[in-house]
Structure 1
Amino acid sequence: MFTETGQTNNELRDFVTQERKKSLSDREWKFRLAGYGYDVRKSSDCLKLVTLRHKVELCDLPLDRPEAS
């Protein structure tokens, strides 16, 4: 499935994961994503990546923080 920006869910997950690895905290990570027009909403079993402008759900994200490389 393609999103409004033409990216697939896997491409979005990879991008968001890389941004999370660069961030020192979840707060910084969410701030970085907001700069790209995205927000993260917590669901009962996962996180949801949504657009800031229209609140459209784009993909699910894992709850756990990836290992920094």
Structure 2
Amino acid sequence: MSIVIKQDAFVTDEVMQIVARERAVALSAREWKHRLAGYGYSIRDTDDGKHLLETLPHHVTLCELPEELFN
């Protein structure tokens, strides 16, 4: 199954600022995912170890998240 990523550079940058800010204030990955859901986003982990940011509730993939957000 191939993953189609819908990208608009400006929107992706704006969303990534939200994602990074919320990660910085979240005490755990679980809290972070909950906070992102409040903005209408979810994180999907793939079989090959990637983390994809998706919209809720339609699960449209926006971008791949950098690994440093998970460390």
TM-score normalized with structure 2 length: 0.74
* One-letter amino acid of the structure 2 residue matched with residue 22 of structure 1: V
Contact 1:21 1:66 in 2 (8 A): no
Number of paired residues? 64
Decide which moves more: 12-21 or 25-34: 12-21
Answering whether residue 70 of structure 2 is matched by residue 63 of structure 1, we say: no
**Deviant stretches of 4+, over 3 Å:** none
Contact 1:17 1:66 in 2 (8 A): no
For residue 69 of structure 2, give the secondary structure of its aligned residue in structure 1.
coil
Unaligned runs of 5+ in 1: none
Q: Where do residues 26-65 of structure 1 align in structure 2 (5 Å cutoff)? A: 26-43=29-46, 44-65=48-69
Render the CA deviation track for 1:22-62: whole Å, top value 9, x for unaligned. Answer: 10000000000111111001122431110121110011111
- Equivalent-residue separation in structure 1 for 2:17 and 2:50 (angstroms): 16
Unaligned runs of 5+ in 2: 1-6
- The offset of 1:9, in angstroms, is 1.1
Distance 1:55 1:66, change over 3 A: closer
